[in-house]
Chains A and B, each alone.
Chain A
Amino acid sequence: MPKINTLDDLKKLRESAQAALKTRAAEAKARVRVSMGTAGIAAGARESLKALMGELEKHSFCDLQIVEDPTLGPDKNEPIVCVERDGFVTQYVKVTADMARKIAAQHIVNGQAVSEWAVARSKK
Chain B
Amino acid sequence: MKIYRLHVLMCGGTQCVSAGGESFESVLKDELKKHNLTDEVQVVRSGCMGACDRGPLMLVYPEGILYQRLKPSDAKEIVAEHFLKGRKVKRLMWTEDGHPYPTMKEVPFFARQTKIVLRNCGLINAESIDEYIAADGYAALGKAITEMKPADVVAEVKASGVRGRGGAGFPTGLKWELGAKSTGDTKYIICNADEGDPGAYMDRSVLEGDPHSVLEGMAIAAYAIGAKQGYIYVRAEYPLAIKRLEQAIKQARAYGLLGNNILGTSFCFDVKMRMGAGAFVCGEETALINSIEGKRGEPHLKPPYPVTAGLWGKPTVINNVETLASIPVILHKGQEFFRKIGTKASPGTKVFSLAGKVNTTGLIEVPLGMPLREIIFDIGGGIPAGKKFKGALTGGPSGGVIPLEHLDTPVDYESLNALGSIMGSGGLIVMDETSCMVDIAKFFLEFTVDESCGKCTPCREGTMQMYKLLKKITEGKGEEGDIEKLEAMGKAIKSTALCGLGQSAPNPVLSTIRFFRHEYEAHIKDKKCPSGVCKMKEEAAVKA
Contacts and interface: CB of A to CB of B under 8 A. Distances in A.
A13 B133 contact: yes
Nearest to A4: B255
A21 B86 contact: no
B5 A53 contact: yes
20 contacts: A5-B264, A7-B263, A10-B133, A10-B263, A13-B130, A13-B133, A14-B136, A17-B131, A20-B134, A21-B7, A23-B42, A24-B7, A36-B84, A41-B85, A49-B5, A57-B2, A65-B5, A67-B63, A69-B86, A70-B87
A6 B354 CA distance: 42
Interface in B64-93: 84-87
B289 interface: no
A6 B85 contact: no
Interface of B: 1-7, 40, 42, 61-63, 84-87, 123, 130-131, 133-134, 136, 138-139, 142, 146, 251, 254-257, 263-264
A17 B212 CA distance: 15
A66 interface: yes
Contacts of A7: 142, 146, 263
A119 interface: no
Contact of B86 (A13, A36, A62): A36
A56 interface: yes
A51 B22 CA distance: 33
Nearest to A15: B134
B326 to A, nearest CB: 20
Looking at chain A's contact residues, the main secondary structure is mixed
Nearest to A65: B62
A21 B1 contact: no
B1 A62 contact: yes
Contact of A37 (B85, B123, B134): B85
A3 B134 contact: no
Interface string A1-39: 101111101100110011111011000100000101110
Contacts of A18: 134
A23 B86 contact: no
B257 A4 contact: yes
A98 interface: no
A37 B82 CA distance: 11
Nearest to B86: A68
A47 B372 CA distance: 54
Given A3-B256, A66-B5, A66-B62, A17 B86 contact: no
Given A17-B131, A67-B86, A70-B86, 9 more contacts: A3-B254, A4-B263, A53-B5, A53-B40, A56-B3, A57-B2, A67-B63, A68-B85, A68-B86
Contacts of A110: none
Contacts of A69: 86
A64 B251 CA distance: 28
Contacts of B6: 23
Contacts of A62: 1, 3
A9 to B, nearest CB: 8
A38 B255 CA distance: 47
Contact of B1 (A20, A23, A34, A65): A20
Interface in A59-77: 60, 62, 64-70
A-B pairs, top 3 by smallest CB distance, nearest first, are A68-B86, A17-B134, A66-B5
A6 B62 contact: no
A36 B85 contact: yes
Contacts of A68: 5, 85-86
Contacts of A6: 263-264
Nearest to B261: A5
Most B CB within 10 A of own CB, among A23, A24, A62, A68: A24
Contacts of B87: 70
B61 A24 contact: yes
B229 to A, nearest CB: 20
A23 B254 contact: no
A71 to B, nearest CB: 9
Nearest to A21: B134
Interface string A76-110: 00000000000000000000000000000000000
A1 B254 contact: yes
Nearest to B128: A17
Contacts of A56: 3
A49 B4 CA distance: 12
Contacts of A57: 1-3
A43 to B, nearest CB: 13
Contact of A21 (B40, B131, B142): B131
Nearest to A37: B85
A109 B131 CA distance: 24
